[in-house]
Amino acid sequence: MTQVLVAEAEPLEVPALAAGYRRRRGRFLYGPNALALYAYGLISLLADLPVYPGDPSRVSSQLGEDIIQTAWFLEYTPYALLHGKNLFSTTLLNYPTGVDLAQNTGMPLLGLLTAPLTLAVNPIASMNLLRFLAFTLSGFAAYYVLRRLTRWAPAAFVGGLLYGFSPYMVSQGALHLNLVFVPLPPLLLYGLYELLVLQRAPAWRTGLLLGLGAAAQFYISAEVLATTALVAGIAVFYLFFLCIRDVPRHAAHAAVGLGIAAAVLGALIAYPTWLMFHGPQHYVGPAQGFNNVYNADLLGPVLPTTAQLVAPSHLRAVGASLVGNNPQENGSYLGIPLLIVAFYLTARYWRRLWPLYLALLALTTFVLSLGPLLVVDGHVHLLPVDLPFRKIDHLPGIDNILPVRLSLYVVFFVAVIIALGIDALRDDITENRVRRVIAGVTRLPRRAVAARAAGAAVALACIVALIPDWPYPSFAAHVNRAEQPKLLSLIPAGAVVLAYPYPTSFDDDAMLWQALDSMRFRLLGGYALVRAPDGTSSVFPSVLEPSAIEAMLVNSVTPIPDPHLADLVATSTSVTATEVVVLRDGARLPAGRTPALVGHVDSVNAKAKTLYVAKKRFSPENVVVGAATAYVETWARHPSLNGVAPGETVAVYGKTGTGTVNPTTVLELRHFLFKNHVQSVIVGLGITDGWEVGNWFKAALGPPTRAGGGGEIWVNVPAALRSTA
């Protein structure tokens, strides 16, 4: 078993290579190894230019909800440690219910590592530093492992380059720091290989390091730890049967190490794991209510996406449309040239067995990444049987896995094949050169010259096909307090704040204000996975009473209404429609009549018989339809509300009346603020779409404490409620 796979074929001589390399292990960061690290770092710098590691004022990719959430988590860790708060549970968000952070992407280890920078500068600086380190360290970790499996450093460098800058990394690097900071999976898999196969180090030491490494990965991303454990289990399963004759003499050593690893891991993650499954705010079932939406497509490995720089535009468009039209989740691309090289190396060296083993792992992992149903070119194809993922998708921990993210391990195993294959090819070339020298042959045969030229062309094609479309776009984070209305300093420390836009997974700017204000106040709402009324997960905040008020605050800014709330939007007027004319394909307004409203449809709720139409951006008006409402669609045989889609231009005829903001909702808003202990209100800080909501709050609370700079703030809400009673 020390030769990895024993059969009637050549064994992989990995232990011999590792033993030869052990002489230099005390001086790893020198010579070619240092050059590899510097090269990975230089490439990583290109990803975010002009944003630099530690940049406090700009963010890469987009200043969107996931980026803001990441910055919030990085700020929360040092805040919790310095103030004696629970790292895994908080009421700073989703007040008063709170959030089970153990079931969210909190990344406390990354928050701890960058705590000095966060406290000295801000969490944006920490996030930009960690983005740089994610690519650099992930590539170097793969290089570190492959350097122990190869004789030639450039072979290990190519493998590390492929892993650390793969399409998976480029796609996830756009948004998800926790999923792109992956230096530990290669080290954990190699540690398992050392424990089960090489067995050179004492079992207790390897087990201890494995347990510590797994715990560290848990505190970066529990999902990545779960997928690493799943892939490791598959690798051990195959290895057990392929090397079954050697199992007895390796079993005791492996059992000791695995037992120690499990004990260390269990002790270090016991509390957050308990919160995940039994905490007061935990949810059950898959995150976001599903785990089978983001599945790899069967054509994913050969279709480039917008993450690749060099590719035909029509193929990029098709590739970007896969995996739920979400290119940030589609990291399964490998490219036809790379697949050809991997297949060639597997076929050429199959007698050594390592290519077959690694290819089997890559293929199995890819099949799992397809999810429970086969998807080809974005279309589901029903098979007589479910795909293997269906057999495990209900298991605790696995039910939170998005299958396409297993692409990380597909590319890792392919990288190992490429690195070991390059190393073997170099050995063959060296051996052939020695033979020619002995034979007195000074010139390469034509076949050899042609083969090398073809190999160089394919290698170049691999590089070109995988060049990422970098740098990511960058955006100002507006972290300079002088750029904001100087209002946040007015909010008392520890105050409960209602912010508009109401923080949700569709707009969490208020979380950025909170993080940049050193977590001085608590927020209603927030972008986090929380427990829904039925106990499952939800990306919407907990429902607060009166729920109609929260519905108007949430649905005014979300493209998808909260399913647990009524479809209400804050409007000043409402039209009871007698006729709705859809102006498409050159259709014109009927002559001689003046519509009550002309605008673009924001949203439609056929069940509630309402739609929201905006005469101008961010100014929707409520349209109520009934059985007597007529619809005009020049292209439809049977016009109905179902033909009125968001984005359509419509003319509405009918009677105009009071909107959803009326004396009744003003009283309900006052009750909402009182019942939920709101002490301060921020409306439209730095945005221009809060005027209607601002007028609503003025009617409920009187004039704001301060207004200007695009925002309004009420500091002492309880006093305002008493004074306007």
122 belongs to a structural domain? no
Cα gap 686→710, rounded to integer Å: 5
* Of residues 617 and 242, more confidently modeled: 242
13, pLDDT greater than 60:
no
Residue 651 and residue 693 in one domain = no
Element (H, E) at 614: strand 610-614
Cα gap 142→148, rounded to integer Å: 10
586 belongs to a structural domain? yes
Closest by CA position to 40, among listed 164, 173, 178, 174: 164
Q: Match 């590691």 to its residue by tokens.
A: 53
Closest by CA position to 530, among listed 279, 223, 289, 283: 283
* Of residues 445 and 538, more confidently modeled: 538
Mean pLDDT of 13-27: 43
- pLDDT of 125 reads 95
Residue 208 and residue 259 in one domain = yes
Choose the final residue of a domain: 221, 256, 282. 282
Residue 536 and residue 486 in one domain = yes
Mean pLDDT of 511-539: 90
Q: What is the domain range of residue 512?
A: 482-559+667-723
Residue 655 and residue 671 in one domain = no
687 belongs to a structural domain? yes
498, pLDDT greater than 90:
yes
Residue 584 and residue 654 in one domain = yes
11, pLDDT greater than 70:
no
Per-residue pLDDT band for 685 (boundaries 50, 70, 90) equals low
pLDDT tens digits, 645-659: 888 888 899 999 888
CA angle 113, 119, 122 (to 5 degrees): 95
Residue 654 and residue 686 in one domain = no
Residue 196 and residue 270 in one domain = yes
233, pLDDT greater than 60:
yes
- pLDDT of 290 reads 56
pLDDT tens digits, 447-456: 878 888 888 8
370 belongs to a structural domain? no
59 neighbors 477 (Cβ within 8 angstroms): yes
Per-residue pLDDT band for 640 (boundaries 50, 70, 90) equals confident
88 belongs to a structural domain? no
Cα gap 549→356, rounded to integer Å: 61
pLDDT tens digits, 168-222: 999 999 889 999 999 999 999 999 999 999 999 999 999 999 999 999 999 999 9
Per-residue pLDDT band for 620 (boundaries 50, 70, 90) equals confident
Closest by CA position to 424, among listed 344, 362, 363: 344
| Mean pLDDT computed over every residue of the chain | 87
Choose the final residue of a domain: 282, 309, 336. 282
pLDDT tens digits, 234-244: 999 999 988 88
Residue 547 and residue 693 in one domain = yes
Percent over 90 (pLDDT), the chain: 57
- pLDDT of 26 reads 53
637, pLDDT greater than 80:
no
Residue 515 and residue 553 in one domain = yes
510, pLDDT greater than 70:
yes
- pLDDT of 359 reads 96
Q: How many domains does the chain have?
A: 3
Residue 529 and residue 506 in one domain = yes
Per-residue pLDDT band for 289 (boundaries 50, 70, 90) equals low
- pLDDT of 618 reads 63
Phi, psi for 216 (deg, rounded to 5): -60, -40
Which tokens go with 626?
């009934």
Per-residue pLDDT band for 15 (boundaries 50, 70, 90) equals very low
* Of residues 608 and 55, more confidently modeled: 55
270 belongs to a structural domain? yes
Beta pairing, strands 649-658 & 706-708: unpaired
287 neighbors 103 (Cβ within 8 angstroms): yes
Q: Which residues pair with 714 in a beta bridge?
A: 681
Mean pLDDT of 323-350: 93
Phi, psi for 510 (deg, rounded to 5): -60, -30
Alpha helix (H) residue ranges in 84-202: 108-113, 115-120, 123-147, 153-164, 167-172, 177-180, 184-193
To the nearest 10 degrees (0 to 180), the angle between helices 509-516 and 65-83 is 30
10, pLDDT greater than 60:
no
Choose the final residue of a domain: 230, 254, 282. 282
- pLDDT of 481 reads 44
596 belongs to a structural domain? yes
Distances (CA, A) of 361 to 39, 299, 355, 416: 29, 19, 10, 11
514 neighbors 527 (Cβ within 8 angstroms): no
Cα gap 250→315, rounded to integer Å: 49
- pLDDT of 489 reads 81
* Of residues 679 and 431, more confidently modeled: 679
- pLDDT of 291 reads 54
512, pLDDT greater than 50:
yes
Estimate the share of the chain in helix, then strand, then coil, as percent rounded to the nearest 5.
50, 10, 35
How many C-beta atoms surround the C-beta of residue 585 within 10 A? 8
- pLDDT of 18 reads 39
Cα gap 611→643, rounded to integer Å: 12
- pLDDT of 14 reads 42
Mean pLDDT of 252-267: 96
pLDDT tens digits, 540-596: 899 999 999 998 888 776 667 777 788 788 888 899 999 988 888 777 777 778 888
- pLDDT of 647 reads 82
pLDDT tens digits, 356-392: 999 999 999 999 999 998 999 988 988 888 899 988 8
pTM for this predicted structure: 0.89
Per-residue pLDDT band for 285 (boundaries 50, 70, 90) equals confident
Residue 595 and residue 643 in one domain = yes
- Exposure string over 703-720, b if 16+ CB within 10 A, otherwise e: ebbebeeebbbbbbbeeb
Residue 649 and residue 580 in one domain = yes
492, pLDDT greater than 70:
yes
46, pLDDT greater than 80:
yes
Q: Let me know how many helices (H) and strands (E) the chain has, helices first.
A: 23, 19
521 belongs to a structural domain? yes
- pLDDT of 218 reads 97
CA angle 66, 71, 74 (to 5 degrees): 125
Per-residue pLDDT band for 464 (boundaries 50, 70, 90) equals very high
483, pLDDT greater than 50:
no
Q: What is the DSSP letter of 507?
A: B
pLDDT tens digits, 57-102: 898 877 778 999 999 999 999 999 999 999 999 999 999 999 999 9
Beta pairing, strands 649-658 & 573-582: antiparallel
Mean pLDDT of 325-336: 92
